[in-house]
Structure 1
Amino acid sequence: MNSPSQAPGRVPAATGAPAPARRRRGVRTLTPRDRIVAAVLLGIPLLLDLALVWFPAAGTTLLSFTRWNGVGSLHADPCDPKLPSVLNNGCLYGIQNYHQAATVSPEFWPAVRHNLIWLAVFVVIATPLGMLFAVLLDRGLRGSRMYQSILFLPVMLSLALVGIIWEFMYSQNYGLINVVLGRTGDGDAIDWLGDPHLNLWAVLTEATWRQSGYVMVLYLAGLKAVDPTLREAAVIDGANAWQTFRRVVFPVMRPVNIVIMVVTVIESLRAFDLVYITNKGINGLELLSVLVTSNIVGETQRVGFGSALGVVLLAISLVPITVFLHQTFRREDTP
């Protein structure tokens, strides 16, 4: 006969047995194995990021304050102006590399100007052109798969191969453009890549041809992710195609716009292959990336001066990206 304090059908708990550990709702206690797995998954990418990005960036910044030429050891003594420069190799040079770049080097300011022109062309021409291609392909045109493959083909090619292809297009004697224009004679042929007034715009045409296909793929992925009910609601309200895109579709693709803006800045400032293949970045095609390479691994091997130019390039690239991300996320946080 059950005692009055014991409900029928319930098994009494064993006396002295430990109560089962209760887990708070929504909170899961990590086991030692979980902590090890989390540490490995987070630690390996962090170490790779530090080893491949942050440590080289910090090392480049330190080298920019030295006079090192890549040979010999570094030391923390200041340079002695009374000694020849070869005896001051590896000494602390202060901000003299930056001062020489801004005041003495004849190629620095043209390179900065060309990089800014490159960025402006990508923002004003390549990005809107890629967006236009994406919008047209998203409308379901007949043969859109074929058009998408054709427009994306330049992205699949290396920049070196793109430069070689366009060299045949721009050739002064047998190039396709001069043949179409009828300027193949000795005195009439246009030197697209040799003329300092034309070569920058000729190379920018090559870069835009490739960059627009890349932007097209990013915007096309963003357009496919837009909720179709938003467009249907806009059509019901009487909005035309342009109003629907400008007021409904484009604001929804803000994350894609952030990615494209960052990619555009990075691609425009690290441009190197096309310019170096054309004429090694001289005679009207000076760029900061080419100057960095020519000073570090070129004939002069001024590693300290080239590192200073690399730091300047990094600072220039961080300014528009930081401003754009700050403005974007501030608008998102504003109620």
Structure 2
Amino acid sequence: MTALSEKAAPEETPAPRVRSRRKKATALGGTDKLVLGLMLGIPTLIHVVLVWLPSLGSVALSFSSWDGIGGFEDIKWVGFQNYVDIFTRYPRFWPAFQHNLIWLAFLLVIPTVAGLFLAVLLDRQIKFGRIYQSALYLPMVLSLALVGFIWQLIYQPEQGLLNNLLGTADNNPTNWLGDPDINLYAVLVAAAWRHTGYIMLLYLAGLKSVDPALKEAASLDGANAFQTFTRVTFPVLKPVNIVVLVVTVIEALRAFDIVYIINKGRNGLELLSVLVTDNIIGESSRIGWGSALAVILLLISLGFIITYLYQVFSKENRA
């Protein structure tokens, strides 16, 4: 027994080493928490300071009358009077509101359908698919201001590409951007040209994540390509559809650069974002009106997004 106890005694000595390892693990865990806190805390702080505080400030200023000159003591609080005046006495509001709705409907239909169609084609591993994908996505890299400048050259009445292709450049050329009856739709084509590549990339990423076994099972059941896509593939793309909706609503309501570079958002190209800029930094300098318009723009975007998300998730809960 004595010999066995003497042999077993050295096995008890590593206890201090175990404690030191635990201390090191605890120290590493504290370091990880500190790094994680900094990685989450700093971006959150920047987001709150640069996004949420200005947004809340705009909401507060929407209930005031202020020309931006002087301190906060010069702000006059007027309640909901700015909103009442915008809806009843501001002649540019309702045309801009209508144009924003047309812009949103156009982007929800044309680029979304075109982007989905192109994504389905590229998902079939066609020849030179990577080249086509890069070429179709290239307009998204360009800013809306640059897109507006490019399409100005295309839409020029006498020297523009479109009228020359139609053969009307020398005889009664169409003023695509000067005619208030058609210039909105002409600009929408330019915006859709840029937006389609982004939608295509989103849907292409979603199609790559679809389990091939689902398609194989559908083909074994006798489904053709169209039936497989509509009944198997497209329902799986529901998360991508939500992303596409949110991105399209934001893109449609924040549209500003392309119309401002063409004619400063006038003569048929009025948008709510242009009215916000004209009232805040324009000649009138009505901070309260501009802030109220920004809040209306925010509520419109949230209305579309929240309604759609509620319908989607309520259906999933019922299922």
Distance 1:30 1:326 in 2: 43
Which residue matches 2:178? 194
Given the alignment, which residue of 92, 96, 112 partners 1:111?
Answer: 96
Shift, 1:43, TM fit: 1.2
Distance 1:132 1:315 in 2: 32
Shift, 1:45, TM fit: 1.9
Given the alignment, which residue of 200, 204, 215 partners 1:216?
Answer: 200
Return the structure number with greater helix share.
2
SS at match of 1:274: helix
Distance 1:196 1:202 in 2: 10
Which residue matches 1:68? 66
Distance 2:216 2:159 in 1: 53
Distance 1:11 1:333 in 2: 62
Which residue matches 2:119? 134
Q: Which runs of 5+ in 1 are unaligned?
A: 22-27, 76-88
**Quick check: 1:68–1:74 contact (8 Å CA) kept in 2?**
no
Which residue matches 1:284? 268
Distance 1:208 1:253 in 2: 22
Which residue matches 1:33? 31
Given the alignment, which residue of 244, 247, 254 partners 1:263?
Answer: 247
SS at match of 1:235: helix
Shift, 1:30, TM fit: 9.3
Q: Which amino acid aligns with 2:275?
A: L
Shift, 1:158, TM fit: 1.4
SS at match of 2:76: coil
SS at match of 1:226: coil
Q: Which runs of 5+ in 2 are unaligned?
A: 20-25
Per-residue CA shift, 1:106-132, capped at 9, x if unaligned?
A: 110111111011110011111111000
Given the alignment, which residue of 132, 145, 162 partners 1:160?
Answer: 145
SS at match of 1:174: coil
**Quick check: 1:66–1:304 contact (8 Å CA) kept in 2?**
yes
Shift, 1:12, TM fit: 9.8
**Quick check: 1:231–1:249 contact (8 Å CA) kept in 2?**
yes
**Quick check: 1:74–1:91 contact (8 Å CA) kept in 2?**
no
Which residue matches 2:285? 301
SS at match of 2:177: coil
Q: Which amino acid aligns with 1:36?
A: L
Q: Which amino acid aligns with 2:290?
A: G
Per-residue CA shift, 1:155-203, capped at 9, x if unaligned?
A: 11111111111101111111111112222246x1111101110000000
Per-residue CA shift, 1:42-96, capped at 9, x if unaligned?
A: 2112111211111010000111111111111123xxxxxxxxxxxxx52112111
Shift, 1:37, TM fit: 2.8
Shift, 1:251, TM fit: 1.4
1:6-45 → structure 2 map (5 Å cutoff): 31-45=29-43
Shift, 1:292, TM fit: 0.4
Percent sequence identity is 55
Distance 2:53 2:141 in 1: 31
SS at match of 1:251: helix
Do structure 1's residue 249 and structure 2's residue 233 form an aligned pair? yes
Q: Which amino acid aligns with 2:316?
A: E
Superposed CA RMSD in Å reads 2.4
Distance 2:308 2:50 in 1: 25
- Report the number of matched residues: 311
Is the deviation greater in 322-331 or in 269-278?
322-331
Which residue matches 2:46? 48
> Structure 2-normalised TM-score?
0.90
